[in-house]
Amino acid sequence: MSTDDFSELALHERAARLLITPSALEELSLEDAAQVVGYMSLRGIEAGTVFVREGQTEGSDHMLLVLEGDLSVENSSLQDDDDHLVVRLLGPGSLIGELGLLDGGPRSASCIAHSDLLVAVLAREHFLQLLSDEPRVGARLLLAMSKRMADTLRETTRKLKLFAQMNKVLSEELSRVARAEDEDWPRG
């Protein structure tokens, strides 16, 4: 076995181990993850590159697993077209784009490489091939992805409820201040 074969095998095993971390798809077994990684391809991304663009639909039918490096996930601010809100900072073991893998729909955020990245890419065509070749592994992958999405939806719902509560308190306080000013306003 050559050094290149050994390093590729070690990278394959590392990718499989990262795929089953809590930041990715921990419900998969290591054996399942190794089979999934077999359908992925490696890609390097230079630091400073915006490699996913919010709203992008063309070429959005893939999922990325970060093997090396750090990135930020950003959303456009509602206040200014040039202003972006950093939503999350991610590193090795993070998954990006599982919704795009499933539906090829518009990306919900932009991703910017903060350092050189090495990612494993699962393209939709290879995902569909995995489902055909290994239906049991494919089903477990879909179940793990569904659980991850459900967890994200629950967390988003929790944050929206908190935001609604804060909005209610703020509205009540503004109404109270407005009433107090009306009462103090001199009548003429």
- Inter-axis angle of helices 124-133 and 135-184, nearest 10: 130
84-90 long-range Cβ contacts below 8 angstroms, 24+ apart: 84/110, 89/114, 90/23, 90/66
Distance CA(139)–CA(183), nearest Å, equals 65
In sequence order, what are the beta bridge partners of 95?
65
Number of CB atoms found within 10 A of residue 97's CB: 20
Distance CA(42)–CA(26), nearest Å, equals 21
Distance CA(105)–CA(174), nearest Å, equals 40
Residue type, 150: A
Tens of pLDDT, residue by residue, the chain (188 residues): 444 554 666 788 888 888 887 767 778 888 999 999 999 999 999 999 999 999 888 888 999 999 999 999 988 865 556 667 777 888 998 889 988 898 888 998 899 999 999 999 999 999 999 999 999 999 989 888 888 888 888 888 888 888 889 888 888 888 888 787 777 776 65
What is the distance of C-alpha 10 from the center of its chain?
25
User: Is 122 in contact with 40 (CB distance < 8 Å)?
Assistant: yes
pTM greater than the 0.85 cutoff: no
